[in-house]
Structure 1
Amino acid sequence: MRIEKEYRIFEDIEEVRIFNATKKDFYKPTPKEFDVEDMPFQELLNNVSTEIHSFIPYENGKDFIIQRLGTFTLNKYNSKPKDAMGRRLSKISPLFFDILHEYFLEVYESHTPKKIRFVYYNGKKLTKLSTAKIVFDMDRIFVVTNNVDTATNRRVDADYRTFDEDKTNMMENFSQTGSYYKVHGKYVWSQGVYNIINRAKEDSDDFYNIVFDLVIPEDQHIVDKIFYLTNNETSQCGEVIRIRTANGVMKVIEVNIYSYFDDSGIIIRQGLINDITQRSDYGLSKPVDFLMDGFKNSKKLALLIEPLSKKQYEFSKGFYYMIEKDYGDYNHSRKIMKNIVEKDVVKNLNKLINGELDKIDEVLTFKVDGNSNNKKIVELYIERFNYNNEVHSLGFLTDVTEDIEKQDKLVASNEQKVVLIKEIHHRVKNNLQVLNSFLNLEKRAYKNDPDLIIEHMQTRLTSLALLHEKTYGTKDFVNINLKDYLVDHDMKTEGFMELPSQVEFETIVDEDLNLSIEVITPLLLIIDELTMNAIKHAFPDNTATDNKITKQITKLNEGDARLIIKDNGVGIPDSKSISKNLGCEIIKSLTSQLGGKISLIECEKGTAYELIFPIRMDHTIN
């Protein structure tokens, strides 16, 4: 058994620590020596939550006669009130007499109350805690005791935990720190402390220092120094000590302890614990940080610990992927903000750093190494908060470059679809208007030959339908490959037109000739008109063979192309008369719309036309 006494100056309380005492040390049955009266309101005193003991001074305080012991104490020693009343304290409990006599005598002589805290240990485990107040009244010494049951797992003094526990746990996980509060002799430990000492919470942790309990013998003198300094000389103390965890791992920790009074005058002792093993000379790695480990493989998401601090920051690997720097090559400073494009974001960041804002939530453009050709779009969230009377910060950085690009493409695609729909409606409307004009002209010219009108209209409709199928299916109005188109066009024309026997279509087109829809629409209708004229007039002999209609389209230069369409038929006996018919008027109108120039060319057999036309025209879609 060992007894330690210490006056805790900042709490203004005497602390008595009793180690490894047994019931026999505290209580020895003794015969009654004095007759004493019961205290008034005895039944009431038996039913209050605190214990009240009463002692009558004997021989001017040389000893004290027990008038009453509290129910908790009597039950602890399996005794009844009659077993304690009328006995001297020095005989029934020599241990308590040795501990309390000087305090009782001081209060008896000065009539000034005194506070004592009793802390009972079995080994290093706290087994009982009680706070007592000694007062003198009615010529008696009264001891009012509040006993704490250390077997409960009840959280105590939670009102003193004014910080955000979720943020605190995250901060402590990443920075390998922990903290505790000690109020009324009871401890409140943060999760970070349990991470450092590598164990889960136990029921009795509220009642002893679970960190100092692990200090190696070589550093025990430092713990003694901490207790002495914080109890007697200063309200602040910082030391470095070594502990050995339950699983045998030795760690180097930095301990900072502060004592202060709350608004009610209650003494609060706060301890901050930092695992500095990795930074110490012992070369031991710190425990796996599970939260940081969860971010280690992410290139698009970064966790920022203390991003507003130049010295104590810690960022997950995603940050270094985003700025495209190695961990060892990066020095954290405000210089990184020079690479942010948006000036208003930089302004808000400076306000956050200076304490004018509590948090920012921004989307910004970051130039990697200041390179305008290497930009990334990131979401940045940083929050400032107070923890342990200091300002801390926590943030997240998310690379949304690809997401923004996909979003922009989706928006552009939706806008393009709207434009395409409008363009399709516009084209269909224009083409129908053209066909309607041709129909009206032919109704007047060929009123006696309705089958010819229908055949011509069918040819034009088929050509435009083919154009719609090939262009609107690919959503490309600018680059229509003419050769692919005309091959299909010949096949469809052969399928529906009533051709003379053995008429062959031959089409020769440059492979890389791509035209816009503004060019190919009138060009196609011109080809239709010339083809229909050739079929109608070039081959009057239905028994003739080797009839051919040839189309050759070549690229002359970057701006112009040439169409030569000819047949090997009977030719035109009077070229002047042909220029005055309806078909020729339609061709001239379409050639004007195309911005081209058409002419009849001489050939040994048959008829041939040459059309020079531009490859590009202004397009309605920007």
Structure 2
Amino acid sequence: MVVDSALDGLVMIDQGGCILMANHRAEVMFDYEGVGMEGMMIASLVPERFRDGHGRLMKSYMRHPEAREMARQQEIFGQRRDGGEFPAEIGLTPVRNGEEVQVLATITDISARKAAQASLELALKEKTALLNEVHHRVKNNLQVISSLLNLQTRSAPPEAVAVLVECQNHVRAMALIHQLLYEHGDFSRIHVGLYLERLTQLLSGSASESGVRVRCRGMEVAVYLGMQRAIPCGLLVNELVTNALKHAFPGRRGTVEVALERAEDGRCRILVSDDGVGIPESVQLGEVSSLGFRLIPILVGQLKGVASLLRPEAGGGCVEIAFSDEPENQE
């Protein structure tokens, strides 16, 4: 018979649930090879704990038979002759034989698929645990480095303290990435707004001593970056805020703002602005002797963005970083 060459099990039943025909694959699947299944009740192929429910569902189906899959919302199990069970997928097709409606069930044993899925889930769980541990350890190691730098500032000469503090801020910016990855369990991307908000909180500690306030705006915007671009993004903001704190407010109070926006074209913008003394016309990004301003074009390139130096008419200074948050293959 043609049905015996089918790769799936095929079972035909009448309206009472009696098996009229079963192909060879079905007999092998349910362990009835050489015995035959004709004349058996279909309920005998269902685990006992499901039989009551199966009977009600079969009667309901027979009132309005149609071609469809069985039980899309829950798992289905078949029962072999020895009582063993296996997960299955079953499709139902009504077949009219004169006035009588018969149903052809197409049965697929998905044990191998389920085993492969369980193996993948286990591998993913192990990988997640490993990544979690890696980020936790990296974060702890970076915090140790930050603490060592902090200790060093206590005995360093005044001219070296500022350099050590800048290095400490760089380390904190990178450690914060690993902290957020560890906290949220999503190792593929970082919520930029949450990251920048936490970063500016760290930078606010040194700013408060000089009477300068660091604030955030728009941090709720849904912008995400992979780790490879989140690190230069954080270092960029760290450099720009540190530079504003250092040069924009000589002997006076003021405010530094870090804003996150999404433009109408979908691109993202980070704006670091201040209401300080303004940026001299002679200053251009990447063309200043200070390490911070020379780093900015490099970090912008790693972010795959574009930096613009703005001089608002109302005074102060502003650096705009425009970039796309579309994921990239290497991330």
1:482–1:515 contact (8 Å) kept in structure 2:
yes
Which of 405, 409, 412 lines up with 2:124 in the alignment?
412
What does 1:216-235 align with in structure 2 at a 5 Å threshold? none
Which of 193, 196, 210 lines up with 1:486 in the alignment?
196
Residue in structure 2 matched with residue 600 of structure 1 by the alignment: 309
1:519–1:615 contact (8 Å) kept in structure 2:
no
**Residue 591 of structure 1, CA deviation:** 0.6
Distance 1:328 1:568 in 2: 73
Residue in structure 2 matched with residue 571 of structure 1 by the alignment: 278
Residue in structure 2 matched with residue 540 of structure 1 by the alignment: 250
Distance 1:412 1:500 in 2: 47
**Residue 568 of structure 1, CA deviation:** 0.9
Residues 307 and 569 of structure 1: CA distance in aligned 2, closer, same or farther (over 3 Å): farther
> Comparing 498-507 with 461-470, which one deviates more in the overlay?
498-507
Distance 1:510 1:468 in 2: 19
Deviations 1:391-420 (A, max 9, x none): xxxxxxxxx96x986665333322444466
Residue in structure 2 matched with residue 47 of structure 1 by the alignment: none
Deviations 1:59-118 (A, max 9, x none): xxxxxxxxxxxxxxxxxxxxxxxxxxxxxxxxxxxxxxxxxxxxxxxxxxxxxxxxxxxx
Residue in structure 2 matched with residue 326 of structure 1 by the alignment: 58
Secondary structure of 1:484 counterpart = helix
Deviations 1:559-612 (A, max 9, x none): 520111111111223434773222211111101111111011121311111111
Distance 1:537 1:481 in 2: 30
Distance 2:116 2:35 in 1: 25
What does 1:59-78 align with in structure 2 at a 5 Å threshold? none
Residues 471 and 566 of structure 1: CA distance in aligned 2, closer, same or farther (over 3 Å): same
- Counterpart AA for 1:613: F
Number of aligned residue pairs: give it.
252
Deviations 1:322-351 (A, max 9, x none): 799527979xxxxxxxx9xxxxxxxxxxxx
1:478–1:515 contact (8 Å) kept in structure 2:
no
- Counterpart AA for 2:186: D
Residues 491 and 416 of structure 1: CA distance in aligned 2, closer, same or farther (over 3 Å): closer
Secondary structure of 2:294 counterpart = helix
Secondary structure of 2:165 counterpart = helix
1:551–1:564 contact (8 Å) kept in structure 2:
yes
Where in structure 1 are there 5+ consecutive unaligned residues?
Answer: 1-301, 331-338, 340-351, 353-357, 380-399, 440-446
Secondary structure of 1:615 counterpart = coil
Distance 2:212 2:60 in 1: 80
Secondary structure of 1:326 counterpart = helix
Distance 2:209 2:60 in 1: 84
Which of 146, 153, 162 lines up with 1:452 in the alignment?
162
Which of 367, 381, 393 lines up with 2:90 in the alignment?
367
**Residue 448 of structure 1, CA deviation:** 8.9
**Residue 457 of structure 1, CA deviation:** 0.8
Residue in structure 2 matched with residue 309 of structure 1 by the alignment: 37
Deviations 1:258-317 (A, max 9, x none): xxxxxxxxxxxxxxxxxxxxxxxxxxxxxxxxxxxxxxxxxxxx999x983312456165
Distance 1:477 1:417 in 2: 11
What does 1:195-344 align with in structure 2 at a 5 Å threshold? 308-313=36-41, 315=44, 317-318=48-49, 326=58
Secondary structure of 2:194 counterpart = helix
1:367–1:376 contact (8 Å) kept in structure 2:
no
Distance 1:323 1:409 in 2: 34
Distance 2:137 2:323 in 1: 23
Where in structure 2 are there 5+ consecutive unaligned residues?
Answer: 1-29, 63-69, 71-79, 94-103, 150-156
What TM-score do the two structures reach when normalised by structure 1?
0.34
Residue in structure 2 matched with residue 507 of structure 1 by the alignment: 216
2:262–2:268 contact (8 Å) kept in structure 1:
yes
2:278–2:311 contact (8 Å) kept in structure 1:
no
Is 1:529–2:236 an aligned residue pair? no
Distance 1:505 1:472 in 2: 26
1:324–1:368 contact (8 Å) kept in structure 2:
no
